[in-house]
Structure 1
Amino acid sequence: MASMDVHFWKEAIHDEIDSIMHNNTWVLADLPSGFRQKEGIDFFDTYAPVARISTIRLLLALAAIHNHVIHQMDVKTTFLNGDLDEEIYMKQPEGFVMPENEHKVCKLKKSLYGLKQAPKQWRQKFDDVVLSKGFALNQVDKCVYSKFDTSGKGVMICLYVDDMLIFGTGLEEVNKTKKFLSSSFEMKDLGEAEVILGIRIKQGNNGISISQSHYIEKILKKFNFENLSPVSTPIDPSLKLLPNK
Protein backbone atom coordinates (compact mmCIF):
# COMPACT_ATOMS: atom_id res chain seq x y z
CA MET A 1 0.00 0.00 0.00
CA ALA A 2 3.05 2.27 0.22
CA SER A 3 4.15 1.66 -3.36
CA MET A 4 3.76 4.01 -6.32
CA ASP A 5 1.35 1.50 -7.87
CA VAL A 6 -1.06 1.56 -4.94
CA HIS A 7 -3.96 2.64 -7.17
CA PHE A 8 -3.55 -0.44 -9.39
CA TRP A 9 -3.16 -2.76 -6.40
CA LYS A 10 -6.36 -1.44 -4.84
CA GLU A 11 -8.23 -1.85 -8.09
CA ALA A 12 -7.05 -5.46 -8.44
CA ILE A 13 -7.87 -6.25 -4.79
CA HIS A 14 -11.39 -4.82 -5.06
CA ASP A 15 -12.00 -6.74 -8.30
CA GLU A 16 -10.99 -9.96 -6.56
CA ILE A 17 -13.11 -9.28 -3.48
CA ASP A 18 -16.09 -8.44 -5.71
CA SER A 19 -15.72 -11.78 -7.52
CA ILE A 20 -15.53 -13.63 -4.21
CA MET A 21 -18.60 -11.91 -2.79
CA HIS A 22 -20.56 -12.31 -6.04
CA ASN A 23 -19.79 -16.03 -5.90
CA ASN A 24 -21.04 -16.35 -2.29
CA THR A 25 -17.72 -17.92 -1.35
CA TRP A 26 -18.19 -17.45 2.42
CA VAL A 27 -20.53 -16.32 5.16
CA LEU A 28 -19.57 -14.66 8.42
CA ALA A 29 -19.93 -16.93 11.43
CA ASP A 30 -18.67 -17.52 14.96
CA LEU A 31 -15.74 -19.89 15.18
CA PRO A 32 -16.99 -23.11 16.86
CA SER A 33 -15.38 -23.79 20.20
CA GLY A 34 -12.63 -26.34 20.04
CA PHE A 35 -12.20 -25.94 16.30
CA ARG A 36 -8.57 -26.76 15.55
CA GLN A 37 -6.60 -24.50 13.22
CA LYS A 38 -4.89 -26.21 10.28
CA GLU A 39 -2.74 -24.99 7.43
CA GLY A 40 -4.87 -26.81 4.88
CA ILE A 41 -6.29 -30.20 3.99
CA ASP A 42 -4.14 -32.69 2.16
CA PHE A 43 -5.47 -34.81 -0.67
CA PHE A 44 -3.37 -37.62 -2.04
CA ASP A 45 -4.86 -37.11 -5.49
CA THR A 46 -5.10 -33.43 -6.44
CA TYR A 47 -7.03 -34.46 -9.58
CA ALA A 48 -5.71 -31.39 -11.35
CA PRO A 49 -7.60 -30.40 -14.54
CA VAL A 50 -4.63 -30.42 -16.90
CA ALA A 51 -4.82 -31.96 -20.38
CA ARG A 52 -1.69 -33.56 -21.79
CA ILE A 53 0.21 -31.59 -24.40
CA SER A 54 0.19 -34.72 -26.62
CA THR A 55 -3.63 -34.74 -26.39
CA ILE A 56 -3.84 -31.13 -27.55
CA ARG A 57 -1.53 -31.87 -30.51
CA LEU A 58 -3.61 -34.94 -31.43
CA LEU A 59 -6.91 -33.01 -31.28
CA LEU A 60 -5.43 -30.26 -33.46
CA ALA A 61 -4.31 -32.89 -35.99
CA LEU A 62 -7.79 -34.44 -36.05
CA ALA A 63 -9.34 -30.99 -36.45
CA ALA A 64 -7.09 -30.35 -39.46
CA ILE A 65 -8.03 -33.70 -41.04
CA HIS A 66 -11.78 -33.26 -40.53
CA ASN A 67 -11.87 -29.47 -40.98
CA HIS A 68 -13.29 -28.85 -37.51
CA VAL A 69 -13.93 -25.44 -35.94
CA ILE A 70 -11.64 -24.61 -32.99
CA HIS A 71 -12.61 -21.97 -30.46
CA GLN A 72 -11.26 -21.04 -27.06
CA MET A 73 -12.83 -19.98 -23.76
CA ASP A 74 -11.45 -18.95 -20.39
CA VAL A 75 -13.09 -19.50 -17.00
CA LYS A 76 -13.04 -16.47 -14.73
CA THR A 77 -12.08 -17.05 -11.06
CA THR A 78 -11.70 -20.77 -11.71
CA PHE A 79 -10.98 -21.99 -8.19
CA LEU A 80 -13.96 -20.09 -6.78
CA ASN A 81 -16.33 -22.48 -8.57
CA GLY A 82 -15.65 -25.61 -6.52
CA ASP A 83 -18.02 -26.74 -3.76
CA LEU A 84 -16.54 -27.87 -0.45
CA ASP A 85 -17.14 -31.15 1.35
CA GLU A 86 -15.41 -30.02 4.56
CA GLU A 87 -16.11 -27.38 7.19
CA ILE A 88 -13.42 -24.73 6.78
CA TYR A 89 -13.05 -21.35 8.50
CA MET A 90 -10.62 -18.52 7.87
CA LYS A 91 -9.91 -15.04 9.19
CA GLN A 92 -11.56 -12.12 7.47
CA PRO A 93 -9.22 -10.62 4.81
CA GLU A 94 -7.01 -7.81 6.09
CA GLY A 95 -8.51 -4.48 5.09
CA PHE A 96 -11.96 -5.98 4.60
CA VAL A 97 -13.02 -6.83 8.14
CA MET A 98 -16.73 -6.10 8.45
CA PRO A 99 -17.57 -3.35 10.98
CA GLU A 100 -19.31 -4.60 14.16
CA ASN A 101 -18.41 -8.16 13.12
CA GLU A 102 -14.71 -8.04 13.92
CA HIS A 103 -14.94 -11.14 16.12
CA LYS A 104 -16.46 -13.29 13.38
CA VAL A 105 -14.65 -15.50 10.87
CA CYS A 106 -15.41 -16.55 7.29
CA LYS A 107 -17.06 -19.93 6.96
CA LEU A 108 -16.22 -21.12 3.45
CA LYS A 109 -19.11 -22.29 1.29
CA LYS A 110 -17.00 -22.70 -1.84
CA SER A 111 -13.40 -23.32 -2.72
CA LEU A 112 -10.85 -20.53 -2.49
CA TYR A 113 -7.35 -19.82 -3.80
CA GLY A 114 -4.69 -21.32 -1.55
CA LEU A 115 -6.71 -24.33 -0.44
CA LYS A 116 -4.86 -27.52 -1.23
CA GLN A 117 -8.09 -29.11 -2.44
CA ALA A 118 -9.07 -26.19 -4.70
CA PRO A 119 -7.98 -27.82 -8.02
CA LYS A 120 -9.76 -31.05 -7.07
CA GLN A 121 -12.98 -29.25 -6.16
CA TRP A 122 -12.97 -27.17 -9.36
CA ARG A 123 -12.40 -30.29 -11.47
CA GLN A 124 -15.19 -32.13 -9.68
CA LYS A 125 -17.56 -29.20 -10.22
CA PHE A 126 -16.72 -29.05 -13.95
CA ASP A 127 -17.19 -32.81 -14.25
CA ASP A 128 -20.60 -32.68 -12.59
CA VAL A 129 -21.87 -29.87 -14.80
CA VAL A 130 -20.52 -31.13 -18.14
CA LEU A 131 -21.32 -34.81 -17.65
CA SER A 132 -24.87 -33.94 -16.58
CA LYS A 133 -25.36 -32.45 -20.05
CA GLY A 134 -24.63 -35.73 -21.79
CA PHE A 135 -20.91 -35.31 -22.43
CA ALA A 136 -18.71 -38.42 -22.21
CA LEU A 137 -15.42 -38.39 -20.32
CA ASN A 138 -12.41 -39.65 -22.24
CA GLN A 139 -10.82 -42.53 -20.31
CA VAL A 140 -7.29 -41.97 -21.65
CA ASP A 141 -7.10 -38.25 -20.91
CA LYS A 142 -9.76 -37.30 -18.38
CA CYS A 143 -9.59 -33.62 -19.28
CA VAL A 144 -11.31 -34.31 -22.61
CA TYR A 145 -15.10 -34.41 -22.94
CA SER A 146 -17.08 -35.26 -26.06
CA LYS A 147 -20.68 -35.18 -27.22
CA PHE A 148 -21.84 -36.32 -30.68
CA ASP A 149 -25.28 -37.09 -32.07
CA THR A 150 -26.22 -40.01 -34.32
CA SER A 151 -25.43 -37.98 -37.44
CA GLY A 152 -21.85 -37.41 -36.27
CA LYS A 153 -22.27 -33.74 -35.38
CA GLY A 154 -20.87 -32.63 -32.06
CA VAL A 155 -18.04 -31.13 -30.02
CA MET A 156 -15.04 -32.01 -27.88
CA ILE A 157 -13.90 -29.92 -24.91
CA CYS A 158 -10.24 -30.00 -23.89
CA LEU A 159 -9.68 -28.49 -20.42
CA TYR A 160 -6.40 -27.06 -19.11
CA VAL A 161 -7.12 -25.59 -15.63
CA ASP A 162 -9.12 -22.47 -16.58
CA ASP A 163 -8.40 -22.51 -20.31
CA MET A 164 -10.29 -24.70 -22.76
CA LEU A 165 -10.34 -25.52 -26.43
CA ILE A 166 -13.67 -26.42 -28.04
CA PHE A 167 -13.47 -28.54 -31.19
CA GLY A 168 -16.69 -28.70 -33.19
CA THR A 169 -17.89 -30.26 -36.42
CA GLY A 170 -19.50 -26.89 -37.11
CA LEU A 171 -19.87 -23.37 -35.73
CA GLU A 172 -23.45 -24.05 -34.61
CA GLU A 173 -22.33 -26.92 -32.33
CA VAL A 174 -19.51 -24.81 -30.89
CA ASN A 175 -21.85 -21.88 -30.15
CA LYS A 176 -24.34 -24.18 -28.39
CA THR A 177 -21.54 -25.44 -26.16
CA LYS A 178 -20.36 -21.90 -25.42
CA LYS A 179 -23.90 -20.90 -24.42
CA PHE A 180 -24.22 -23.89 -22.12
CA LEU A 181 -20.84 -23.24 -20.45
CA SER A 182 -21.59 -19.53 -20.01
CA SER A 183 -24.87 -20.41 -18.29
CA SER A 184 -23.01 -22.57 -15.76
CA PHE A 185 -19.78 -20.60 -15.19
CA GLU A 186 -18.55 -17.04 -15.64
CA MET A 187 -16.75 -17.39 -18.95
CA LYS A 188 -14.71 -15.25 -21.32
CA ASP A 189 -15.19 -16.02 -25.01
CA LEU A 190 -11.85 -15.77 -26.84
CA GLY A 191 -13.25 -16.65 -30.27
CA GLU A 192 -11.13 -18.70 -32.67
CA ALA A 193 -8.23 -20.37 -30.89
CA GLU A 194 -4.93 -18.55 -31.35
CA VAL A 195 -2.65 -19.41 -28.41
CA ILE A 196 -2.77 -22.24 -25.87
CA LEU A 197 0.10 -23.04 -23.45
CA GLY A 198 2.50 -20.88 -25.41
CA ILE A 199 1.60 -22.65 -28.66
CA ARG A 200 0.43 -20.42 -31.49
CA ILE A 201 -2.33 -21.93 -33.63
CA LYS A 202 -2.78 -20.76 -37.21
CA GLN A 203 -5.80 -22.03 -39.13
CA GLY A 204 -5.80 -21.72 -42.92
CA ASN A 205 -7.10 -23.27 -46.11
CA ASN A 206 -4.18 -25.70 -46.16
CA GLY A 207 -4.76 -26.96 -42.62
CA ILE A 208 -3.48 -25.99 -39.19
CA SER A 209 0.06 -25.04 -38.25
CA ILE A 210 1.35 -24.82 -34.70
CA SER A 211 4.54 -23.24 -33.41
CA GLN A 212 6.03 -21.97 -30.19
CA SER A 213 7.07 -18.62 -31.67
CA HIS A 214 4.69 -16.90 -29.25
CA TYR A 215 6.42 -18.52 -26.25
CA ILE A 216 9.91 -17.88 -27.64
CA GLU A 217 9.13 -14.20 -28.27
CA LYS A 218 7.77 -13.87 -24.74
CA ILE A 219 10.94 -15.38 -23.20
CA LEU A 220 13.23 -13.23 -25.36
CA LYS A 221 11.34 -10.10 -24.36
CA LYS A 222 11.43 -11.06 -20.68
CA PHE A 223 15.25 -11.24 -20.72
CA ASN A 224 15.72 -8.26 -23.08
CA PHE A 225 16.99 -10.35 -25.99
CA GLU A 226 14.25 -9.56 -28.51
CA ASN A 227 16.36 -7.05 -30.48
CA LEU A 228 19.47 -9.22 -30.90
CA SER A 229 20.44 -10.57 -34.30
CA PRO A 230 19.48 -14.22 -34.81
CA VAL A 231 22.06 -16.88 -35.66
CA SER A 232 21.59 -20.32 -37.15
CA THR A 233 23.36 -22.04 -34.24
CA PRO A 234 22.60 -20.59 -30.80
CA ILE A 235 25.65 -22.28 -29.19
CA ASP A 236 29.39 -22.20 -29.83
CA PRO A 237 29.84 -24.47 -32.90
CA SER A 238 33.34 -25.41 -31.71
CA LEU A 239 32.00 -26.86 -28.47
CA LYS A 240 32.46 -30.64 -28.36
CA LEU A 241 29.41 -32.28 -26.79
CA LEU A 242 29.85 -35.31 -24.56
CA PRO A 243 27.39 -38.20 -24.16
CA ASN A 244 24.79 -37.71 -21.43
CA LYS A 245 25.71 -39.87 -18.43
Structure 2
Amino acid sequence: MIDEMKSLWKNNTWIIVDIPKDKKVIRCRWLYRKKPRIPMVERERFKARVVAKGFTQWEGNDYDKVFTPVVKPISIRILMSLVVQEDLELEQMDVKTAFLHGDIDRELYMEQPNGFEVNPGKYQVCLLKKSLYGLKQAPRQWNMKFDTFMKNQKFNRSVHDSCVYVKDVGHEDYVYLLLYVDDMLLAAKCMTEIRKLKMF
Protein backbone atom coordinates (compact mmCIF):
# COMPACT_ATOMS: atom_id res chain seq x y z
CA MET A 1 0.00 0.00 0.00
CA ILE A 2 2.86 2.33 0.80
CA ASP A 3 4.47 1.71 -2.61
CA GLU A 4 1.17 2.49 -4.34
CA MET A 5 0.76 5.74 -2.42
CA LYS A 6 4.37 6.74 -3.16
CA SER A 7 3.78 6.29 -6.89
CA LEU A 8 0.54 8.32 -6.70
CA TRP A 9 2.27 11.15 -4.81
CA LYS A 10 5.29 11.09 -7.13
CA ASN A 11 2.95 11.34 -10.13
CA ASN A 12 1.08 14.31 -8.58
CA THR A 13 -2.17 12.42 -9.08
CA TRP A 14 -4.08 14.77 -6.77
CA ILE A 15 -3.87 17.62 -4.33
CA ILE A 16 -5.66 17.70 -0.97
CA VAL A 17 -8.29 20.43 -0.71
CA ASP A 18 -11.28 21.38 1.41
CA ILE A 19 -14.39 20.13 -0.32
CA PRO A 20 -16.20 22.92 -2.16
CA LYS A 21 -19.92 23.27 -1.54
CA ASP A 22 -22.29 21.45 -3.87
CA LYS A 23 -19.56 19.24 -5.36
CA LYS A 24 -19.96 15.49 -5.73
CA VAL A 25 -17.19 13.36 -4.25
CA ILE A 26 -16.30 10.10 -5.98
CA ARG A 27 -15.58 7.27 -3.58
CA CYS A 28 -12.54 5.02 -3.82
CA ARG A 29 -11.33 1.72 -2.43
CA TRP A 30 -8.25 -0.42 -2.13
CA LEU A 31 -8.04 -3.36 -4.52
CA TYR A 32 -5.73 -6.23 -3.55
CA ARG A 33 -4.45 -9.05 -5.70
CA LYS A 34 -1.86 -11.77 -5.60
CA LYS A 35 0.76 -11.41 -8.33
CA PRO A 36 1.55 -14.44 -10.52
CA ARG A 37 4.72 -16.27 -9.61
CA ILE A 38 6.84 -19.27 -10.48
CA PRO A 39 6.02 -21.93 -7.84
CA MET A 40 8.93 -22.90 -5.54
CA VAL A 41 11.13 -20.23 -7.18
CA GLU A 42 9.51 -16.91 -6.32
CA ARG A 43 7.87 -15.80 -3.08
CA GLU A 44 4.25 -14.81 -3.04
CA ARG A 45 3.81 -11.12 -3.77
CA PHE A 46 0.78 -8.95 -3.35
CA LYS A 47 -0.25 -5.73 -5.05
CA ALA A 48 -2.46 -3.00 -3.60
CA ARG A 49 -4.04 -0.40 -5.86
CA VAL A 50 -6.24 2.62 -5.19
CA VAL A 51 -9.21 2.57 -7.57
CA ALA A 52 -11.92 5.17 -8.01
CA LYS A 53 -15.48 3.89 -7.90
CA GLY A 54 -16.20 5.01 -11.44
CA PHE A 55 -19.68 3.50 -11.34
CA THR A 56 -20.68 6.48 -9.16
CA GLN A 57 -19.70 8.99 -11.88
CA TRP A 58 -22.44 10.84 -13.75
CA GLU A 59 -22.27 10.93 -17.53
CA GLY A 60 -22.23 14.50 -18.81
CA ASN A 61 -21.09 15.84 -15.45
CA ASP A 62 -18.06 13.74 -14.43
CA TYR A 63 -17.17 12.50 -17.91
CA ASP A 64 -18.25 12.68 -21.53
CA LYS A 65 -16.44 10.44 -23.99
CA VAL A 66 -15.06 7.09 -22.88
CA PHE A 67 -14.30 5.29 -26.16
CA THR A 68 -10.70 4.15 -26.45
CA PRO A 69 -9.35 2.38 -29.54
CA VAL A 70 -7.23 -0.77 -29.48
CA VAL A 71 -5.14 -2.17 -32.30
CA LYS A 72 -7.06 -4.24 -34.86
CA PRO A 73 -6.16 -7.95 -35.14
CA ILE A 74 -5.43 -7.53 -38.87
CA SER A 75 -2.80 -4.89 -38.01
CA ILE A 76 -1.04 -7.37 -35.74
CA ARG A 77 -1.04 -9.99 -38.51
CA ILE A 78 0.33 -7.46 -41.02
CA LEU A 79 3.13 -6.48 -38.62
CA MET A 80 4.04 -10.14 -37.99
CA SER A 81 4.18 -10.67 -41.75
CA LEU A 82 6.47 -7.62 -42.13
CA VAL A 83 8.71 -8.87 -39.32
CA VAL A 84 9.23 -12.17 -41.16
CA GLN A 85 9.46 -10.69 -44.66
CA GLU A 86 11.84 -7.83 -43.76
CA ASP A 87 13.72 -9.70 -40.97
CA LEU A 88 12.79 -7.04 -38.42
CA GLU A 89 13.58 -7.06 -34.71
CA LEU A 90 10.45 -7.45 -32.56
CA GLU A 91 9.95 -6.37 -28.94
CA GLN A 92 7.01 -6.26 -26.57
CA MET A 93 6.66 -3.75 -23.75
CA ASP A 94 4.07 -2.34 -21.44
CA VAL A 95 3.73 0.98 -19.66
CA LYS A 96 3.62 0.68 -15.88
CA THR A 97 0.78 2.59 -14.23
CA ALA A 98 -0.30 3.81 -17.67
CA PHE A 99 -3.69 5.16 -16.63
CA LEU A 100 -2.03 7.44 -14.07
CA HIS A 101 -0.34 9.40 -16.87
CA GLY A 102 -3.55 10.73 -18.41
CA ASP A 103 -4.53 14.29 -17.50
CA ILE A 104 -7.98 14.94 -16.05
CA ASP A 105 -10.07 17.14 -18.32
CA ARG A 106 -12.48 18.44 -15.67
CA GLU A 107 -12.83 19.16 -11.95
CA LEU A 108 -13.20 15.84 -10.09
CA TYR A 109 -13.09 15.26 -6.36
CA MET A 110 -12.42 11.91 -4.70
CA GLU A 111 -12.37 10.85 -1.08
CA GLN A 112 -8.94 10.22 0.40
CA PRO A 113 -7.75 6.59 0.34
CA ASN A 114 -8.53 4.75 3.56
CA GLY A 115 -5.54 4.62 5.90
CA PHE A 116 -3.71 7.50 4.21
CA GLU A 117 -5.88 10.47 5.13
CA VAL A 118 -4.13 13.83 5.39
CA ASN A 119 -5.37 15.93 8.34
CA PRO A 120 -7.65 13.25 9.82
CA GLY A 121 -10.77 14.69 11.39
CA LYS A 122 -10.89 17.56 8.93
CA TYR A 123 -13.00 16.57 5.94
CA GLN A 124 -10.71 17.11 2.98
CA VAL A 125 -10.74 15.41 -0.39
CA CYS A 126 -8.48 14.74 -3.36
CA LEU A 127 -8.80 17.14 -6.29
CA LEU A 128 -7.71 14.86 -9.13
CA LYS A 129 -5.01 16.16 -11.47
CA LYS A 130 -4.28 12.86 -13.20
CA SER A 131 -6.42 9.90 -14.18
CA LEU A 132 -6.86 7.05 -11.78
CA TYR A 133 -7.78 3.41 -12.25
CA GLY A 134 -11.54 2.99 -12.12
CA LEU A 135 -12.48 6.36 -13.60
CA LYS A 136 -14.70 6.06 -16.67
CA GLN A 137 -12.44 8.35 -18.73
CA ALA A 138 -9.08 6.93 -17.56
CA PRO A 139 -8.38 4.73 -20.63
CA ARG A 140 -9.31 7.55 -23.03
CA GLN A 141 -7.17 10.12 -21.17
CA TRP A 142 -4.19 7.74 -21.24
CA ASN A 143 -4.66 7.09 -24.97
CA MET A 144 -4.80 10.82 -25.73
CA LYS A 145 -1.62 11.43 -23.70
CA PHE A 146 0.13 8.55 -25.51
CA ASP A 147 -0.96 9.84 -28.92
CA THR A 148 0.47 13.30 -28.16
CA PHE A 149 3.73 11.71 -26.98
CA MET A 150 4.06 9.63 -30.16
CA LYS A 151 3.45 12.63 -32.40
CA ASN A 152 6.13 14.56 -30.46
CA GLN A 153 8.50 11.66 -31.19
CA LYS A 154 7.82 12.17 -34.94
CA PHE A 155 5.63 9.07 -35.33
CA ASN A 156 2.71 9.15 -37.75
CA ARG A 157 -0.57 7.52 -36.80
CA SER A 158 -2.17 5.27 -39.40
CA VAL A 159 -5.39 6.52 -40.97
CA HIS A 160 -6.60 2.89 -41.12
CA ASP A 161 -5.88 1.94 -37.50
CA SER A 162 -5.50 4.63 -34.85
CA CYS A 163 -3.35 2.32 -32.71
CA VAL A 164 -0.65 1.85 -35.35
CA TYR A 165 2.26 4.31 -35.38
CA VAL A 166 5.08 4.45 -37.92
CA LYS A 167 8.28 6.50 -37.91
CA ASP A 168 10.56 6.94 -40.91
CA VAL A 169 14.13 6.79 -39.59
CA GLY A 170 15.74 7.10 -43.03
CA HIS A 171 17.35 4.76 -45.55
CA GLU A 172 14.01 2.98 -46.12
CA ASP A 173 13.97 2.01 -42.44
CA TYR A 174 10.89 2.37 -40.26
CA VAL A 175 9.93 1.82 -36.64
CA TYR A 176 6.47 0.32 -36.14
CA LEU A 177 4.50 0.50 -32.91
CA LEU A 178 1.15 -1.18 -32.23
CA LEU A 179 -0.77 -0.21 -29.09
CA TYR A 180 -3.29 -2.34 -27.18
CA VAL A 181 -4.32 -0.25 -24.16
CA ASP A 182 -0.92 -0.14 -22.38
CA ASP A 183 0.80 -3.04 -24.16
CA MET A 184 2.91 -2.47 -27.25
CA LEU A 185 4.58 -4.35 -30.06
CA LEU A 186 7.64 -2.61 -31.52
CA ALA A 187 9.40 -3.60 -34.72
CA ALA A 188 12.38 -2.17 -36.60
CA LYS A 189 15.43 -3.31 -38.56
CA CYS A 190 17.74 -2.06 -35.83
CA MET A 191 17.37 -2.69 -32.09
CA THR A 192 18.89 0.75 -31.46
CA GLU A 193 15.70 2.44 -32.66
CA ILE A 194 13.58 0.23 -30.41
CA ARG A 195 15.84 0.90 -27.41
CA LYS A 196 15.57 4.66 -28.00
CA LEU A 197 11.81 4.44 -27.72
CA LYS A 198 11.93 2.14 -24.68
CA MET A 199 14.09 4.66 -22.79
CA PHE A 200 11.13 7.01 -22.46
Q: In which range does the TM-score fall when normalised by the shorter chain?
A: 0.7 to 0.9
Alignment of 1:206-245 (within 5 A): none
Structure 2 partner of 1:21: 9
TM-score (norm 1): 0.64
Q: Match of 1:78?
A: 98
- In structure 1, C-alpha distance between the alignment counterparts of 2:58 and 2:152, rounded to whole Å: 28
User: Pairwise mapping of residues 2-41 of structure 1 onto structure 2 (< 5 A)?
Assistant: 13-37=1-25, 39-41=56-58
Shift of 1:148: 0.8
Name the CA distance, whole Å, in 2 between partners of 1:41 and 1:63. Answer: 45
Superposed CA deviations along residues 114-149 of structure 1, whole A, max 9, x for unmatched, are 110001100000011111121100111111111013
Residue deviations 1:40-63 (CA, integer Å, cap 9, x gap):
253564232421222112111111
1:161 matched residue in structure 2: 181
1:143 pairs with 2:146: no
Query: Of the two structures, which has the highest relative contact order with CA contacts closer than 8 Å and spacing of 6 or more?
Result: 2
Check conservation: 1:84, 1:109, Cα contact below 8 A: yes
Note if contact 1:143-1:158 (Cα within 8 Å) is conserved in structure 2.
Answer: yes
Question: 2:92, 2:58 → 1: CA distance?
Answer: 33
Query: Are 2:124 and 1:104 equivalent residues in the alignment?
Result: yes
Q: Distance in 2 between matches of 1:28 and 1:101?
A: 14
- Equivalenced residue count is 168
Distance 1:73 1:102 in 2: 43
- The sequence identity of aligned pairs, in percent, is 41
- Cα RMSD after superposing both structures: 1.8
- Runs (5+) with no aligned partner, structure 1: 1-12, 183-245
Partner letter of residue 176 of structure 2?
M
Higher-Rg member (1/2): 1
**What is the CA-CA distance between 1:15 and the residue it aligns to?**
2.5
Structure with the higher fraction of residues in strand conformation: 2
Letter in 2 for 1:159: L
Provide structure 2 residue ranges, at least 5 long, that are not aligned to the other structure: 27-55
Structure 1 position 176 matched with structure 2 position 196: yes
